[in-house]
Amino acid sequence: MALIVAKFGGTSVASPERIKNVARRLVRMRQDGHSVVAVVSAMGKTTDELMGLASAVSSQPPARELDRLLSTGEQVSMTLLAMALENLGYRALSFTGRQAGIETDSSHRQAKIIKVHNERIMEALEAGAIPVVAGFQGIDAAGDITTLGRGGSDTTAVAVAWGIGADVCEIYSDVDGVYTTDPRVAPRAQKLDQISYDDMLELSSAGSGVLQSRAVEFARKWNVVIHSRSAFSDAEGTYIKEDPDMEEAVITGIAHDTSEVKVTMRHLPDTSGVAAKVFSALASNMVNTDMIIQNISEDGYTDISFTCPGADLDRARETLDRIMPDLGGREYVVDESIAKVSLVGTGMKSSPGVAARAFTTLGENNINILAISTSPIRLSMVVDAAQAAQAVRCLHTAFGLDSDSVFVETQLSAEEIAAKMKKGR
């Protein structure tokens, strides 16, 4: 007799047949006595297709119009799901972001949710209907449609769950939960029954594609329990929640991320202020630098390396082409074949030997560490991309995460795995 918010991603609603499956699943929840609110993403690749149309008519689509355009994707899937539910004999009412009361700030393309006005959803629930809410979108104070950025439907689901006081926010996707690491890379990966918000946040931002960081942040802030589970099976997934009784594992999971690149500036004069000039120029050109490594100075010159998302590389090149001559640097080189491997675990705070064990493990496996960064509950190491899978596997074994059974991927087609890999990048 729970109040459940159930969010279905683009893959789960990619075709009329899949939408009918989602409808049947929601009906089963109702038959089990639960109250349920659905949140949906746009069908399959709709958002990318709409972006393509926008680029075809405008070199720089205005943000207000772009958000209105993109928001139609979820409006299509929400109405189709409502129709499918009514076709099964259940009353359903679809709600746009505006109608669902998702109030955001005015930063188009990446708006932040300010408030959730729950009245219309509550009324629909009280009338016995199944509300179906369009994910990814809201409305600002001026009445303009905004969108929440990539993966924003997860955030909508968590926000709605908070707004209506739901018992759980179930996030359905093509994976059946959160694993100690990517099972396609390390077949002995284990599915976690539960994980803390902090560990999940670090895993998400370190490259685990299961949940969007912003949704997890929102859930942590408002204490919303997330249940990440498969849209294609009934198995329990992973609960993301705060649990004082939870035993703090030293290492909860290992994430990897191949989307970053490494840039090395050669032979820069080692004078005060050079690094500051470089990184403030990069920042003001919207390059998100991650790790920074400065070599020991020789003869008054030094090399400085940094890593950044591959998507920022063009802007990084543009910045360096502009400032390197003034700074007196010799050249810069780009290495695109790197991978970041991250160990995550709240227990790390009280276990000082983690870094030593990780370095030793990689050393014994002849894997060279190119850069290191840490947070209180995360240790990230950059390695050569060709050695990333091996690094994940040997660390997974060294930290006692291996399962007795070997993961066999059965539910996804080769095409779907490829899509996931790409999304994970």
Q: Applying CB under 8 A, which residues contact its own copies?
A: 16-17, 19-20, 23, 50, 53-54, 56-62, 65-66, 68-69, 72, 75-76, 79-84, 86-87, 92, 94
CB-wise, 31 or 59, nearer to its own copies? Answer: 59
Q: Which helix (H) or strand (E) holds 339?
A: strand 338-344
d(CA 342, CA 106): 34
CB-wise, 95 or 162, nearer to its own copies? Answer: 95
Q: Distances in Å between the alpha carbon of 335 and those of 207, 267, 290, 389?
A: 19, 17, 15, 18
CB-wise, 84 or 240, nearer to its own copies? Answer: 84
Q: DSSP character for 298?
A: B
CB-wise, 22 or 192, nearer to its own copies? Answer: 22
Helix axes 152-164, 213-222, angle to 10 degrees: 20
Task: Report in angstroms how near the CB of residue 163 gets to its own copies at its nearest.
Answer: 20
State both tokens at 196: 């803390």
d(CA 307, CA 334): 10
| Beta carbons within 8 Å of 16's beta carbon, 6+ residues apart | 80, 84
Task: Report in angstroms how near the CB of residue 8 gets to its own copies at its nearest.
Answer: 14
CB-wise, 19 or 192, nearer to its own copies? Answer: 19
3-state secondary structure of 51: helix
Q: Check: CB of residue 284 under 8 Å from CB of residue 278.
A: no
Task: Report in angstroms how near the CB of residue 65 gets to its own copies at its nearest.
Answer: 4
Task: Report in angstroms how near the CB of residue 108 gets to its own copies at its nearest.
Answer: 12
d(CA 161, CA 173): 17
Task: Report in angstroms how near the CB of residue 80 gets to its own copies at its nearest.
Answer: 5
CB-wise, 47 or 208, nearer to its own copies? Answer: 47
Task: Report in angstroms how near the CB of residue 405 gets to its own copies at its nearest.
Answer: 38
CB-wise, 99 or 196, nearer to its own copies? Answer: 99
d(CA 148, CA 335): 32
Task: Report in angstroms how near the CB of residue 96 gets to its own copies at its nearest.
Answer: 8
CB-wise, 76 or 421, nearer to its own copies? Answer: 76
Q: Check: CB of residue 43 under 8 Å from CB of residue 77.
A: yes
Task: Report in angstroms how near the CB of residue 76 gets to its own copies at its nearest.
Answer: 6
The closest alpha carbon to 144, from 86, 69, 80, belongs to 69
d(CA 203, CA 193): 15
